Amino acid sequence: MKQIPLDERIIFALDFADPEIAGQWVRKLDSHVKFFKVGLQLFLAGWWHVVDDIVDRGNKVMVDLKFFDIPETVHLAVQQLQKRNVTFSTIHGNRPIIEAAVAEKTAMKILAVTVLTSFDESDMIEMGFTGSVRDLVLIRARKALELGCDGVVSSALEAEPLRDELGSNFLVVTPGIRPGLNRDVEKDDQKRVATAQQAIINGADHVVIGRPISTSNDPLGTVQTIQEEIARGLEAS
């Protein structure tokens, strides 16, 4: 089992258009949560100032820009992130893109996005894929790890087969997390979702969660509840 502190298991998704609001959430939560995700919306709104502010407070950052471009462009983009003490970055892509991203490995971990959690089997059919989501996740994960990625982003539903088939020596970061035990979880625009406890039992190392915390009447209480779920998942795994 990886030695990851409980306050780094949750990666809080800073899905806000206003950098000031994002900063307020960092200050509100970082007594309990030490890992934050900066996605495309917030990065375009605040650029490096947002990332630097999080890091300067002693926290970790996952920059989730899902690079997918010609290999040299991806390579240069990854170089920029490496200068900012970013902990995780995300990429899409085929062999040349992945090879370009991992060409100059540093302390920053590079995660390959497998299949977005907003996709399900109907989306696969519409896009012309004949296999299942699970099959495509495994194919993409296997290739990414062979080429040097440090881990993958996948839903909790695929975390278990990923561990069964590919082992434990890589990171699994799981979005689509909704709080709650022994009840149906609310899906909104995410189609492949699970609770934090189930994600950890299935093999996830980190869970990415935003709206269930940011829309809660008691955000810190919700964080603590999710961390309790994670702790139970670790005990059961």
HSE at residue 182, side-chain half, CA atoms within 13 A, is 0
Q: Which residues, other chains included, contact 183 with Cβ-Cβ below 8 Å and sequence gap of 6+? A: none
Catalytic residue among 37, 60, 66, 187: 66
Handedness of CA 171, 177, 179, 182 (dihedral sign): negative
Q: Which residues, other chains included, contact 45 with Cβ-Cβ below 8 Å and sequence gap of 6+? A: 16, 17, 18, 19
Question: Whose CA is closest to 10, among 222, 235, 237, 236?
Answer: 222
* 66 in active site: yes
Burial of 55 (0-12, 13-18, 19+ CB in 10 A): middle
* CA distance linking residue 135 with residue 100, whole number of Å: 25
* Chain Cα centroid distance, residue 162: 15
* Enzyme catalytic residues: 66
